[in-house]
C-alpha cells in the first residue's frame, strides 16, 4: 500500500467504535493497515492464502460470527468483478453505526497485479474505479464521503451504517 492510501486509512480509523475489524483483501502485498487497529479484534480475509490472511474467503459473501464494527477494504475493488457486491454485502454485515473504509485505484492508475503489484498475469481482472461509481455503490449507507484523490490515482471512501 502506498503512503497516501495508508494516510487516508489512518485519518479515519479512529472514527470506529470498539469491536471486530474485518479486512477484505488482507493478504499483505506491499504493506498492511492492521497496525492502525491495534487493540481491537482483527480478522483478515482474502480469496487467496498468504501473509496475514486469517481465513480464505470471498468479501462479497463471507459472514463473520460477529458483526464487525469496521470493515476495511484497501486496494481490492479494482481487482474484482464483485466490487459493487462487496459494498452491498458490507452494508448488510456491519454492526449498527459501523464504518466501511475503502481505498481503490482510480481509472487513471495503470493496471497492476493483485499478486505482487507488477504486470497483470493472464486471467487477472482489473478495472480502475471512479468516484461516481463508488458513491453509487455506497448509497445505502446513512452517510458516505467519497474522495477522488487527485494526484494519487486513488479514490477513497468512508461510509457509516445507520444506527
Question: What was the pLDDT predicted at 110?
Answer: 87
Mean pLDDT across 86-103: 98
At residue 3, what are phi and psi to the nearest 5 degrees? Answer: -60, -35
Give the single-character DSSP code of 85. Answer: H
Q: Which domain holds residue 117?
A: 3-160
Radius of gyration of the chain (CA): 14
Domain of 12: which CATH number? 3.40.50.150
- Across the chain, which distance is largest between two alpha carbons, in Å? 43
Question: What was the pLDDT predicted at 113?
Answer: 87
The domain total for the chain is 1
pLDDT band at 63 (very low <50, low <70, confident <90, very high): very high
Window from 45-49, 79-83, 112-116, 122-126 with minimum mean pLDDT: 112-116
User: Over 80: is that where the pLDDT of 1 sits?
Assistant: no
Q: How far apart are CA 162 and CA 94, in angstroms?
A: 10
Nearest to 131 by CA among 117, 144, 114: 144
Question: What was the pLDDT predicted at 114?
Answer: 85
Is the pTM of the predicted complex or chain greater than 0.85? yes
pLDDT band at 23 (very low <50, low <70, confident <90, very high): very high
Q: CA neighbours within 13 Å on the CB side: how many for 125?
A: 9
C-alpha cell at 35: 497496525
Question: What was the pLDDT predicted at 29?
Answer: 82
| 139: Cβ contacts below 8 Å, ≥ 6 apart | none
User: Over 90: is that where the pLDDT of 91 sits?
Assistant: yes
Contact 21, 38 (CB under 8 A): no
- Per cent of the chain over pLDDT 90 is 87
Segment 108-160, tens digit of pLDDT: 888 888 888 889 999 999 999 999 999 999 999 999 999 998 788 999 999 99
Mean pLDDT of the chain: 94
Amino acid at each position: 500500500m502506498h503512503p497516501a492510501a495508508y494516510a487516508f486509512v489512518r485519518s479515519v480509523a479512529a472514527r470506529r467504535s470498539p469491536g471486530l475489524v474485518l479486512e477484505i483483501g488482507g493478504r499483505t502485498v506491499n504493506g498492511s493497515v492492521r497496525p492502525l487497529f491495534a487493540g481491537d479484534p482483527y480478522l483478515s480475509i482474502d480469496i487467496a492464502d498468504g501473509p496475514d490472511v486469517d481465513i480464505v474467503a470471498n468479501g462479497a459473501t463471507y459472514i463473520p460470527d460477529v458483526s464487525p464494527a469496521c470493515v476495511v477494504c484497501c486496494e481490492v475493488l479494482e481487482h474484482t468483478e464483485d466490487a459493487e457486491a462487496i459494498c452491498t454485502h458490507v452494508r448488510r454485515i456491519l454492526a449498527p453505526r459501523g464504518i466501511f473504509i475503502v481505498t481503490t485505484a482510480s481509472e487513471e492508475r495503470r493496471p497492476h497485479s493483485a499478486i505482487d503489484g507488477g504486470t497483470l498475469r493472464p486471467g487477472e481482472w482489473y478495472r480502475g474505479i471512479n468516484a461516481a461509481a463508488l458513491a453509487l455503490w455506497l448509497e445505502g449507507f446513512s452517510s458516505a464521503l467519497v474522495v477522488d484523490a487527485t494526484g494519487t490515482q486513488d479514490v477513497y471512501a468512508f461510509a457509516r451504517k445507520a444506527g
